[in-house]
Structures are given as C-alpha cells and as structure tokens.
Structure 1
Amino acid sequence: MRADRLVSLVLLLRQHGRMSASALAGELEVSTRTVLRDIEALSSAGVPVYAERGRHGGFALLPRFRTELTGLSHDEALALLVAGSRRGGQSFGLGSALASAMLKVVDALPEGHRATAAGATRRLLIDPGTDLLARGVAVDEAPDAVASEVRRAVVTGHRLRIHYEAVGHDPRWRTVDPIGLVTVRDQGYLLATRSGADRTYRLSRILAAEVLAEPAQRPDRVDLDQVWQDRSAQFRAGGELVAVRVRVDAARRDELVRTAVAVLSDESEPDGWSRLEVTFQDRRHARWALWQLATGAEVLDPPWLRTDLHERASALATWYAEPRERTTG
C-alpha cells in the first residue's frame, strides 16, 4: 500500500507542480505527518523532491525530473485505459496501440524486473479464442479504419458521418453526435444522438465513417454507465421483445441468462431446475437460444415456440432415422 501511495505522490507532483503537505494529504487520504514521512522516503531513494518555504510554499520535483516511462502516444495511453475491460482494445480498434504500449511499459521496467514480468505474462491468459469445448468465441469487430474514425470523433467531440447498415435495411449515411463507446460481451456500440434523439449503433454494422469539422452537440460531462443503463431500459420497453417462460436445468441456466435480453423472474425448483421468465430480441432470437439448450430446457410459454421447436426436432429426427449410403465423388 505504501509503494502505491509513493507512486501516487510523485504523479501528483508531476501533474500539479508545487503542492502543500495538507493538499497532498487530502488527495492521498492520509495525515500530514504521513506525507512528510513519504517525502523523506522519496528523497532518501533519490527522487529529487524539495521543499519551498513561505506562504505559498510546498513540495515540488526538480523541473527536469520525469519517470522512465516515455513516448506513449495518445492511442497507446487510451489503450491502456480501456485494457481492463474485456477485449476493450480490440473492440475500439486499439489492439495494435495496446501491444505497442505494453512493449514500452516492459522496456521501462528496471532490468531485474523485465524477465519476471515476461514470465508472468506467459502464465496469464485472458479471454482465449475458444472455450473448454473448443467453441469459437465470436468477436464483433469493426474494421480498424472505421473504429479509428469513430473513436476520434468520440474523443475530440466532433460530429460523425457514418454509413450504417441496420438490420433488414439497406445501408445509408447518417450524421450523428457521438456520446461514447461501449463494449458488452465482445460487441461494440456507439452511443450517439441524431437530430436530438437517442441512437445506439453497433460498430460492426458501420461500413464507413468520417469525422466532420463541426463540434458535436453533446454535454461536456457524461455518466456513460448511466447512459447505457437508460438505453438498455428504452430497448427493453420497445414493445418488440419476446417474453418466454421456461424451465432450465441448473447446469444450463447461466447459458440461458447470457443469451437473454433480460430476466424478469427466476424461481428455483426442488428437482434442481429453475423456472424463469426471460425476454429475447425477437422470435428468431428466442428460437435460436432455446434450440441451443436442447433437452437442457423446456419452453412453457408461448405455445408457438413449443410448436416450432417440436417441428424442428421432428424434422431432424426424421432426417437421421434411416441410415444413408455414403456417396463418393
């Protein structure tokens, strides 16, 4: 904990210049006495921190002092900020920038720590391309050129012109005011407004993008998490969702929940199964999700979905009922 605090102290002095002991204590949430001890520890370690007396005095670093981590580009710094999210760099077109930034981070480590860090990275794997059953993980990505333009508009606060292909419609150009980027379950979304109305665009459906010169019409500050929750609520209330009541084996419950838009109710049953009411985007989504679960789930309602799954299963059983001769070319 103290090592983290010492690093934070140095970064505060780097960013703000001269700061009083009380101001540092407030930022670090420690006592003034603790700050003075930390300053002494940094000085003993060779960090060029010095005190200035007087009414406007405080502590500061020598003007030429800087950390060893240098040369990070804007995109590299941004990639590091989103690296904690699932596939954040890849979803926003920052994959190459993230790789470059991490090389610079490793290069900035003290000599004795580089081998340890390199060995550690070989023992940590996040989000591999397949699961334990060797099923491929589908990643919904936009082309790098498109993602770069969209990201630039979001970061710089300019209007954006996009060539967007909505489901069931021909692609067409739209001019939007970008608010932010969100990635959920490996799918990237652009949150924006168009003519003042809320709009959410899937990044993989943006075929081309162009940053415009005029500034975006958007608030200076935004709570992106709250905006996403509001958009989700609007989507669920859109009137096109399909509600399904279903019994599901406990071993398959999480799989069902992951594919559903929302879970409206969830009750456990004595036999280890659960009875849920969930919603899906449309009939096609509901049909696909329940078919994947096979005998791990039973649709209770609506009747059309039970009939659909029965007919599909019957057709498949008939197809495989009789052995067929293997044909050769």
Structure 2
Amino acid sequence: MRAGRLVSLLLLLQDRGHLTARQLADELQVSVRTVYRDVEQLAAAGVPLYGEAGHAGGYRLVDGYRTRLTGLTADEAQAVFLAGLPGPAAELGLGEVLAAAQLKLRAALPVQMRTHAARIQERFLLDAPTWYGSTDPTPYLTAVANAVWERRVLAVRYRRWKEPTDVDRRLEPYGLVLKAGRWYLVAAADPGRSVRTFRVDQILDLTVLDEVFEPAEGFDLAAHWRGYLADFHARLHTGEAEIRLTRRGVERAAAHLGDAVAHALAAAGGPDPDGWTRARVPIESVEHAHAEFLRLGTDVDVLGPPELRDRIAETVRTLAVRYL
C-alpha cells in the first residue's frame, strides 16, 4: 500500500510539476504528516525532488527528471488495453496514434504486466455496434472531432426527422459521444445557444469557421449525457397498453421489446390456468406499439387501448383478405 502511494506521489509531481503538501494529501487521501514522511522516504531513495517554503511553496521534481514507472497495477494495465477501441479510434483518425501509444506503454511495463496486457488483446475484443444496426458513413467525423478539440465554431447543413428536414445551424461543438456504434455531437446551437444533441452521420455539409468559443461555465460532458439519456427514456414511453401473452409471447416480448416491457412482464406475475399472462406495458405511441405487437403474431392479444386494438384488428382483416 505504501509503495503504491509513493509511486502515485511521484507520478503526481511528474504530471503536475508543482504541488503543495496539502494538495498531495488531498489527492492521495492521506494526512499532510503522511505526505511529509513519504517525501522524506523518496528523497532518501535518491529521487531528485525538493521543497519550496512560503505561501506559494510546495514540492517539485528537478527539471528534466522523468521516471519510467507507470504506477499501474496489473488490473489497471489490463483495463487500459481493453479500453482502447481500435474501430472508433480509427474513425477519429487516431488509429496509428492509439497503436503507437499502446506500444510505448507496453514497453514501459514490467514483464509480468506486459504479458497480462498481451493476453487481453489476444482474448478480448470490444465491438460497440449492435448486431442488426448498420453503421452509417460519417464523412465529417474527423472535422467535427478537430473542431471539438480546437473549440472552433461549425456551420453545418443538417438533416433532421421533422419538417423542414434540411436546416442550417451554427454550432459550438462541446463534445463527441459514441453510443451503440453511432457518433453524437453535443453542441450549443443558435438561436439561444441551447445545448443539444446531433447525429454526426446526419451532417450533410460542414464548414469550420475561424471563430473560436468558450463552453458554458461548469459544463460537464459526462453529466450532460447522463441527463440527456434520463430525459430521453422519460419521454420515450408516453402511454400504456393492456395485453395478454402466451408463454412463448412473454419470452419473445421480454427479449425483443425492450427493458421497460421486460420489467413490466416480470412484475405481472405468472400465467393464468389457460397459460396466458396479463400485463400492462409501456408504449411509445399507438403507431409504434401497433408495429411491435404485430411482430408477436398470435402470441399476443391486445386488450387496450381501444384505438390500438382497433388498428391491429383492421390490419389483421386486411391481411386475411389479401391471403385468403
């Protein structure tokens, strides 16, 4: 534990350049007295660090000193190599950079950790897209990524789902998110600079402007995305349907109609003596539920709402006329 803390202290100074004893104590979650003892031990071991007195004082390493220690545990080294997704890195134009970085990291690791890292790459592969989802081309992804990095304003022609479908937007690109194999741009959009989400593959044309911007104060990409997903799921299901399902229908619905339906079916209890399970399940809309329930064929009996039941009945009558 102490050896790991000493390495962490050394790497913090190497990374930050200058830290006070209090800052080091906060980072390492120890007391200031413990930091003093650790610094003395590092100095005794020959590490060229020195302290500066006064209000703005603290500790720093002698200029030019670098350690080859990575400070990684075996599990951390494995996680680093597992987290490097070659597909998305290549899409961002960083494929060669990622490979070079992993090579350098592997060379700096002790032999045992190097072996663990090699096993990770041999035995595990992360493939982000879903099975049945096709990855749409994203010709402007690299340009968008560069604009995010450089805080440059974008002028884009964007295709959305509602009319008018093709619109012009001025965007201040805050960050990129990869979700289920698809890239999303989180950006402040005119008018009003409200932070919104755009699919990168729906950008029809793009110009990087000379104008630079500063993100809204306190903006956190990860926190924003969590809030966006929570709001998305809250708006996703706007209604409810009452249905009966055969045993096979319960299995198919739980597997193919989403987590919300699966949870509703799990809470519905077991089947009745005839083998049917009755449940109230969330739906996005009558139109969407109509298509989803038809996938279950005779394994589902839609009891309500009346509009949904009538629409399915009309579809069944049309199919009967067509095929009989």
Q: Normalising by structure 1, what TM-score?
A: 0.68
The aligned residue for residue 30 of structure 1 is 30
Cα displacement (A) at 1:87:
9.2
**Preserved CA contact (<8 Å) 2:48 2:65:** no
Say if 1:141 and 1:203, in contact at 8 Å, map to a contact too.
no
Letter in 2 for 1:207: L
User: Structure 1 counterpart of 2:205, which letter?
Assistant: A
Distance 2:25 2:257 in 1: 49
Show structure 1 runs of 5+ residues with no match: 71-79, 131-135, 322-329
Q: Paired residue for 1:162, among 148, 156, 161? A: 156
More helix by share: 2
Which position in structure 1 is the counterpart of 2:304?
Answer: 301
**TM-score (norm. length: structure 2):** 0.68
Alpha-carbon shift at residue 142 of structure 1 (Å): 4.8
The SS at the match of 1:26 is helix
- Tell me the distance in 2 between the aligned counterparts of 1:66 and 1:126: 33
Q: What CA deviation, in whole Å up to 9, does each residue of 1:79-123 have, x standing for no partner? A: x99x85999946973662544433332233234532332023322
2:125 aligned partner, one-letter code: L
CA distance in 1, matches of 2:103, 2:132: 26
Aligned-partner residue type, residue 175 of structure 1:
R
Query: Measured at CA, do residues 173 and 276 of structure 1 come closer, stay the same or move farther in structure 2, by a change above 3 Å?
Result: same
Q: Is the 8 Å Cα contact of residues 252 and 296 (structure 2) preserved in structure 1?
A: no
User: Shift of residue 137 of structure 1?
Assistant: 4.5
* 1:257 partnered with 2:251: no
Match of 2:289 among 286, 289, 292: 286
What's the offset of the Cα at 1:38? 3.6
SS at match of 1:271: coil
Q: Which runs of 5+ in 2 are unaligned?
A: 71-78, 272-276
- Contact kept, 8 Å, 1:242 with 1:286, in 2: the verdict is no
What is the one-letter code of the residue matched to 2:180? R
Q: Which residue of 2 aligns with 1:207?
A: 204
Alignment of 1:195-274 (within 5 A): 195-196=191-192, 197-216=194-213, 218-228=215-225, 231=228, 243-247=239-243, 249=250, 252-253=253-254, 255-258=256-259, 268-271=267-270
Q: When the two structures are aligned, how many residues end up with a matched partner?
A: 300
Distance 1:250 1:91 in 2: 39
Q: 1:23 to 1:112 in 2, by over 3 A?
A: same
Amino acid corresponding to residue 199 of structure 2 in structure 1: R
Cα distance per residue 1:289-324 (max 9 Å; x no partner): 444555665544344444555666787799999xxx
Task: Tell me the residue number matched to 2:74.
Answer: none
Shift of 1:41: 5.5
* Alignment partner of 1:150 is 2:144: yes
Offset at residue 195 of structure 1 (A): 1.0
How many Å separate the matches in 2 of 1:292 and 1:44? 72
SS at match of 1:122: helix
1:76 aligned partner: none
